[in-house]
Amino acid sequence: MAKNKLETEKTRISLNVKNPAARGDQHGLLDMSEKICQVENQRLQSENDRLLEKLRKEALEKSLLLEISKTISSSLDIKEVLNRIVDSVRQVIPYDAAGIFLLDPETKQLKPAVLRGYDHEAIRKAHLKVGRGLIGQVAKTQKGGIFADVSKEPNYIDARKETRSQISVPLMVKGKLLGVLNLESDRLNAFDENDLNLLKAFASHAAIAIENARLHHRVLKNRELEYDLHIARRIQKALLPKKLPEVPGYEFATINIPSKTVSGDLYDLSKLPNGKLAIAIGDVSGKGTPAAIIMASVYSAFKTISNEPISVSQRICRLNELIHESMMPGTYATFFYGELDITSRRFVYCNAGHFPPVLVRNDGTTLKLVEGGTVLGFLRNMTYQEHEVILEEGDILFCYTDGLVEVSDKEGSFLNLDPFVEIVQENRERKAREILDRILQAFYGRVRRKQLEDDLTIILTKVLPQPE
């Protein structure tokens, strides 16, 4: 408009210059020149004002973006971060509805984490996922988009009746898609390229804040889990024997090594009210914390009935019933239990589905203690048989769990029990502790990695000469 006015004034002055009669006197010419200058100055001032306004707006946006970035990054609580993102973006880009949709890497679904202005039930029914809907389209292409009229978009999912236009950008960190930031307006053409560029810049800061909050949450969870496992291990160690019994004529050595922080193995060496020595070893199904919980239940049940004046087989029957009542379906425990008459050295035992202990005789021959019945806790009303053997001076009872043999060697095959039995045979004259150390040395020399694949428990009972 100012430019056209200027051109008109220039034309009029030019005509006056060419036609002296028309121009009047020189004062009229000077007036015209001043008017042209005024118009030109007005045009320049107008352009300067627009440029300054644009620069002020950009500076304000950058300043606001910086402040928002600081705001959303000042918290490491994931929920708080997400809410701050959605509330802060309104300061730079007005909207009527907004949402952050986070990606589930396994299902590829885009799950609403924070919503503003939406019907939550409608969003839930939309079943957004990568490639589905405009939000899913942005997630798939990993490129932001402006949708000036959503009614003309074939991929649009009508989850909000009032929406006329939409702008969406992906939330990315180091090339990894975290989700999509989506804004909607009740007006057509509500967003432009400047909004898109601004939202992209905002989204890059937001994505970093989200990732940092997630990592922080993960660290806290791991610390909490580590603390819980530490406490669980302390409780578990408190359940197991604190020290080995001192029994004249016998020598013991034990080891219990969990594959994780806590173990699913259990063992017991304790004197019974009847004067006999109880020897027990067991292994519950599974590993880690779930197995440790079951182990504690089995051990508690075992200690509950250990004082009852019943036979070995009856004790195992009772234990099976107690465990079956408390165990989840499909879980079970293998268990070997025996009672040793310290004086007569008569050992009565029952093997409930456990790896058979090996009795290495003083002459090097071996006997596997297999008699008993099936695993504990799997079925009710089971019957168990007991068997007996007389121990002699120099005999060594070698009890172990599957962690000794169901572990891969350096070639990828399971270990064989025979080399460990041979160590016991060849070192019968040594102390029980020394024999156990040699077994462990051979074990770690054969396994593929130092981190155990399963819990490992060993009990060695060596028969010494009768005390005088």
Q: Which amino acid makes up residue 395?
A: D
User: If you average pLDDT over residues 240-256, what whole number do you get?
Assistant: 88
User: If you average pLDDT over residues 379-393, what whole number do you get?
Assistant: 93
Give the residue among 370, 371, 292 at the shortest CA–CA distance from 333.
Answer: 292
Please, what's the b/e burial string for 103-142 (b: 16 or more CB within 10 A of its CB; e: otherwise)?
A: beeeeebbebbbbbbbeeeebeebebbbebbbbbbbbeee
Using the 8-state DSSP alphabet, how is residue 429 labeled?
A: T
Do residues 369 and 357 lie in contact, with contact meaning Cβ atoms separated by under 8 Å?
A: yes
DSSP of 40-109, one letter per residue?
HHHHHHHHHHHHHHHHHHHHHHHHHHHHHHHHHHS---HHHHHHHHHHHHTTTS--SEEEEEEE-TTT-B
Residue 39 sits in the same domain as residue 123? no
In a domain, 451, yes or no: yes
Q: Tell me the CA end-to-end span of the chain in Å, nearest whole number.
A: 124
In a domain, 230, yes or no: no
Range among 159-168, 239-248, 257-266, 376-385 with highest mean pLDDT value: 159-168
pLDDT digits (tens, 9 = 90+) for 134-159: 999 999 999 999 999 999 999 899 88
Strands (E), 379-435: 387-390, 396-400
Tokens of 427: 């070192």
Residue 423 sits in the same domain as residue 409? yes
Residue 124 sits in the same domain as residue 202? yes
- In the predicted model, is pLDDT for residue 397 greater than 90? yes
CA distance 362 to 271: 25
Q: Give percent of the chain above pLDDT 90.
A: 39
Per-residue confidence band for 349, with pLDDT thresholds at 50, 70 and 90: very high
Residue 195 sits in the same domain as residue 259? no
Residue 21 sits in the same domain as residue 102? no
Tokens of 179: 């989700």
In a domain, 225, yes or no: no
The helix/strand/coil state of 404 is helix
Please, what's the b/e burial string for 7-18 (b: 16 or more CB within 10 A of its CB; e: otherwise)?
A: eebeeebeebee
In a domain, 411, yes or no: yes
User: 199 versus 35: which is more confidently predicted?
Assistant: 199
In a domain, 180, yes or no: yes
- In the predicted model, is pLDDT for residue 70 greater than 50? yes
Q: What is the average pLDDT score of the chain?
A: 81
Q: Give percent of the chain above pLDDT 70.
A: 74
Q: What pLDDT, on the 0 to 100 scale, is given for residue 20?
A: 47
CATH assignment at residue 96: 3.30.450.40
SS3 track for 320-381: HHHHHHHCCCCCCEEEEEEEECCCCCEEEEEEECCCCCEEECCCCCEEECCCEECCECCCCC
- In the predicted model, is pLDDT for residue 408 greater than 90? no
In a domain, 236, yes or no: no
CA 63 to chain centre: 37
Tokens of 153: 């978009």
Number of domains in the chain: 3
Domain termination residue (choose one: 27, 49, 71): 71
User: 66 versus 354: which is more confidently predicted?
Assistant: 354
Q: What pLDDT, on the 0 to 100 scale, is given for residue 116?
A: 92
- In the predicted model, is pLDDT for residue 338 greater than 90? yes
Q: What pLDDT, on the 0 to 100 scale, is given for residue 355?
A: 93
Residue 191 sits in the same domain as residue 312? no
Q: What pLDDT, on the 0 to 100 scale, is given for residue 6?
A: 46
**Of the given ranges (86-95, 221-230, 285-294, 312-321), which has the lowest mean pLDDT?**
221-230
Residue 158 sits in the same domain as residue 53? no
Q: What pLDDT, on the 0 to 100 scale, is given for residue 392?
A: 94
Residue 279 sits in the same domain as residue 173? no
pLDDT digits (tens, 9 = 90+) for 76-115: 677 787 888 788 888 888 999 999 999 988 899 999 988 9
User: If you average pLDDT over residues 403-419, what whole number do you get?
Assistant: 82
In a domain, 128, yes or no: yes
pLDDT digits (tens, 9 = 90+) for 455-464: 789 999 999 9
User: If you average pLDDT over residues 397-418, what whole number do you get?
Assistant: 84
Per-residue confidence band for 228, with pLDDT thresholds at 50, 70 and 90: low
Q: How many other CB atoms sit within 10 Å of the CB of residue 367?
A: 14
Q: How many other CB atoms sit within 10 Å of the CB of residue 231?
A: 12
In a domain, 38, yes or no: yes
CATH assignment at residue 338: 3.60.40.10
CA distance 411 to 409: 5
> Domain span at residue 355?
243-463
Give the residue among 214, 208, 233 at the shortest CA–CA distance from 296.
Answer: 233
CA distance 364 to 428: 8
Residue 438 sits in the same domain as residue 383? yes
Q: How many other CB atoms sit within 10 Å of the CB of residue 416?
A: 11
Write down how long the chain is.
468
Cα torsion angle, 392, 395, 400, 406, sign = negative
Domain termination residue (choose one: 184, 218, 252): 218
Q: What pLDDT, on the 0 to 100 scale, is given for residue 98?
A: 93
Strands (E), 174-238: 176-185
User: If you average pLDDT over residues 220-232, what whole number do you get?
Assistant: 62
How buried is 99 (Cβ within 10 angstroms: 0-12 exposed, 13-18 middle, 19+ buried)? buried
- In the predicted model, is pLDDT for residue 21 greater than 50? no
Q: What pLDDT, on the 0 to 100 scale, is given for residue 287?
A: 61
Q: What pLDDT, on the 0 to 100 scale, is given for residue 134?
A: 93
Domain termination residue (choose one: 71, 88, 104): 71
- Has this prediction a pTM greater than 0.85? no
Residue 256 sits in the same domain as residue 206? no
Give the residue among 286, 312, 316 at the shortest CA–CA distance from 301.
Answer: 316
Q: What pLDDT, on the 0 to 100 scale, is given for residue 207?
A: 82
Degrees to nearest 5, angle at CA 298 with 292 and 304: 135
Cα torsion angle, 23, 28, 29, 33, sign = negative
Residue 98 sits in the same domain as residue 57? no
Residue 330 sits in the same domain as residue 454? yes
